[in-house]
């Protein structure tokens, strides 16, 4: 089972691929919308890729709750 | 009422089968190069289509755009942004209030390639794999909207769809917006990138494409007796048009004037041109009239002439009716292929450069002029000629006729 650091680095790769943000800038305290400037369309793509990568389900109502990178890492860790 | 302002061109850009920008396209055209070759693409081997040639881009837009920007756009949006960026920089990135800046970019087909790819994903992998960007990538106003984001245009974004006349119609609408005083600057043109199995198959079934697969560079031969259809191309041409007083006040370099336009429709047949050429004749006459000129002033016509058997002769007859026997013709699709919704914009630009530089590019592959044409068509070498005014024609499936008149600034 992957630990949180592995999830973070995997998620950062996805964010870089979809939104072009340097993976090194994707840290737990960052807000997807306010800090990383990721729009709702890109969030959908990121969620679909994260589901595939980590084998989790991220329903739409959950996705809306994942405000920061840390929120997403915790959710994935808990629901894998 | 005050006199409507003159409309001038202060910048231009293009990406075509002949070059990745406007200058290389113009140079290649004057050098007599062809942009036609064997079609490259993953889909090519999948179907045994009888047409294996097309005019694909000289430079891939993904080599120019940032990776993430490119992946959010259909190819026809990519080419529009590439050409618009060049045009905007060429115009000196005009300082204009965003509410006084508009975009008009037409496309014939739009994001068909996206539609097909996403439909495959839905079919094979289900809903989850369908991109949330599917609709903004396939919508026909996508190229215009993407360009509006690039330059911050808030004075209106428009996307005329008139098949192969879309690019010319976009320039005509830009002229109307500027003449009406609605805005000060318009970024206008056309974009197309739909060379794929279904579009080629559709044009094949309509019996419109050349099958000269063994000699791609000789396939597009407008006005030649051996012509057997057009060659599908892709690309974009974009101009920055301004009110003449606005351009003068900011000290912009003016490359030409869009002096007049004519837009008409045939209401005759969905694909076939009116054999009398009445709609084409009316478009040409309207363009001359709105430019405040006489037919005798038009020294050159940059023709729509796609290399189809019926269309080329019909256009020459309409030119004779509308303008007389004197205009010298050329057919840039002989080199570029048919850029569909981008054709009128790229070829309008070529017509304007012919006036500015005093040279008309040759029609490639014109070895045996169709006797039905009986007009002077430039062949072999480019012709140096002083022009005060030139016309560009574009006609589209649906009975659309668009004529533009360019003059010296």
Q: State pLDDT tens for residues B186-237.
A: 999 999 999 999 999 999 999 999 999 999 999 999 999 999 999 999 999 9
State residue B18's pLDDT score.
98
Q: Are B231 and B338 in contact (CB under 8 A)?
A: yes
| pLDDT of B24 higher than 70 | yes
Question: Average per-residue pLDDT in chain B?
Answer: 96
State residue B1's pLDDT score.
54
Please tell me the distance from the alpha carbon of residue B332 to that of residue B249, in angstroms, as a whole number: 35
Which among A20, A44, A51 has the least Cβ separation from residue B132?
A: A44
How much is the average pLDDT of B124-145? 96
State residue B273's pLDDT score.
82
Sketch the domain layout of chain A as residue ranges: 2-79
Q: Which residues contact A41 (CB under 8 A, 6 or more apart)?
A: B132, B133, B136
| pLDDT of B89 higher than 90 | yes
Q: Is A39 marked active-site?
A: yes
Please tell me the distance from the alpha carbon of residue A39 to that of residue A46, in angstroms, as a whole number: 11
Tens digit of each residue's pLDDT (9 = 90 or more) over B329-360: 999 999 999 999 999 999 999 999 999 999 99
Which among A19, A41, A51 has the least Cβ separation from residue B132?
A: A41
Chain A residue with CA closest to B132: the answer is: A41
State residue B302's pLDDT score.
98
Selected residue with higher pLDDT from B235 and B272: B235
How much is the average pLDDT of B357-370? 98
Q: Which residues of B321-339 are buried (b: 16+ CB within 10 A; e: fewer)?
A: bbbeeebbbbbbbbbbbbb
| pLDDT of B123 higher than 50 | yes
DSSP string, B296-333: GG--EEE----S-HHHHHHHHHHHHHHH-S-PEEE-TH
Domains of chain B (ranges; CATH) run 7-250 (3.40.47.10), 261-407 (3.40.47.10)
Most confident of A32-36, A75-79, B292-296: B292-296
Write the CA distances from B27 to B19, B167, B295, integer angstroms: 9, 21, 29
Residue B306 pLDDT level (bands cut at 50, 70, 90): very high
With an 8 Å Cβ cutoff, the interface of chain B facing chain A consists of 66-69, 128-129, 131-133, 136
Q: Which residues of B384-403 are buried (b: 16+ CB within 10 A; e: fewer)?
A: eeebebbbbbbbbbbbbbbb
Per the DSSP assignment, residues forming a β-bridge with B6 are none
Tens digit of each residue's pLDDT (9 = 90 or more) over B308-331: 998 999 999 999 999 999 999 999
Cβ within 8 Å, pair B133-A41: yes
**Which structure tokens are listed for B234?**
């892709």
Residue B80 pLDDT level (bands cut at 50, 70, 90): very high
Query: What's the complex ipTM?
Result: 0.86
How much is the average pLDDT of B11-36? 98
Query: Global pTM?
Result: 0.95
How much is the average pLDDT of B141-160? 98
Reference B355, options B386, B393, B394; nearest CA is B386
Q: Are B113 and B196 in contact (CB under 8 A)?
A: yes
Chain B residue with CA closest to A60: the answer is: B128
Reference B261, options B109, B400, B363, B103; nearest CA is B400
Residue A1 pLDDT level (bands cut at 50, 70, 90): very low
Element containing residue B239 per DSSP (H, E): strand B235-243
Cβ within 8 Å, pair B131-A20: no
CATH topology of domain A2-79: 1.10.1200
Residue B15 pLDDT level (bands cut at 50, 70, 90): very high
Angle at B147 between CA B143 and CA B149, to 5 degrees: 120
Which among A19, A20, A45 has the least Cβ separation from residue B132?
A: A45
């Amino acid at each position: 089972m992957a630990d949180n650091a592995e999830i973070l680095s995997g998620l950062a790769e996805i964010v870089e691929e979809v939104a072009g943000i340097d993976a090194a800038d994707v840290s737990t305290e960052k807000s997807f919308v306010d800090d990383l400037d990721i729009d709702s369309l890109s969030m959908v793509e990121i969620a679909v890729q994260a589901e595939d990568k980590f084998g989790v389900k991220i329903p739409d109502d959950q996705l809306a709750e994942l405000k920061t990178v840390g929120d997403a890492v915790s959710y994935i860790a808990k629901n894998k | 009422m005050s006199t409507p302002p003159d409309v001038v061109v202060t910048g231009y850009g293009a990406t075509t089968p002949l070059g990745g920008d406007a200058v290389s396209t113009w140079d290649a055209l004057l050098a007599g190069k062809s942009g036609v070759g064997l079609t490259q693409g993953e889909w090519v081997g999948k179907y045994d289509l009888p047409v294996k040639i097309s005019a694909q881009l000289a430079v891939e837009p993904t080599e120019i755009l940032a990776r993430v920007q490119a992946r959010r756009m259909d190819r026809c949006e990519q080419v529009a942004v590439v050409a618009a960026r060049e045009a905007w920089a060429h115009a000196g990135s005009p300082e204009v209030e965003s509410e006084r800046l508009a975009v008009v970019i037409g496309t014939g087909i739009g994001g068909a390639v996206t539609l097909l790819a996403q439909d495959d994903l839905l079919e094979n992998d289900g809903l989850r794999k369908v991109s949330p960007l599917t609709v903004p990538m396939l919508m026909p106003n996508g190229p215009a909207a993407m360009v509006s984001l690039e330059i911050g245009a808030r004075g209106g974004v428009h996307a005329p769809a008139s098949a192969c006349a879309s690019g010319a119609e976009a320039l005509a609408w830009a002229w109307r917006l500027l003449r009406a005083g609605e805005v000060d600057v318009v970024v206008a043109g056309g974009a197309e990138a739909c060379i794929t199995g279904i579009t080629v198959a559709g044009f094949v079934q309509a019996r419109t494409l050349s099958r000269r697969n063994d000699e791609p560079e000789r396939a597009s031969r407008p006005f030649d007796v051996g012509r057997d259809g057009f060659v599908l191309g892709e690309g974009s041409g974009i101009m920055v048009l301004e009110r003449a007083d606005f351009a003068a006040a900011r000290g912009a370099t003016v490359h030409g004037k869009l002096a007049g336009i004519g837009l008409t429709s045939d209401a005759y047949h969905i694909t076939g041109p009116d054999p009398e050429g009445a709609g084409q004749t009316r478009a040409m006459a309207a363009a001359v009239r709105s430019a405040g000129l006489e037919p005798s002033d038009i020294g050159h016509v940059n023709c729509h002439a796609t290399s189809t058997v019926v269309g080329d002769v019909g256009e020459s007859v309409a030119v004779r009716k509308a303008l007389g026997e004197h205009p010298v013709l050329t057919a840039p699709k002989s080199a570029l292929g048919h850029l569909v919704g981008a054709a009128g914009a790229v070829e309008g630009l070529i017509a304007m450069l012919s006036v500015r530089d005093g040279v008309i590019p040759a029609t490639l592959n014109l070895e045996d002029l169709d006797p039905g044409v009986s007009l002077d068509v430039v062949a072999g070498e480019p012709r140096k000629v002083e022009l005060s005014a030139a016309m560009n024609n574009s006609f589209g499936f649906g009975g659309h006729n668009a004529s533009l008149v360019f003059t010296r600034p």
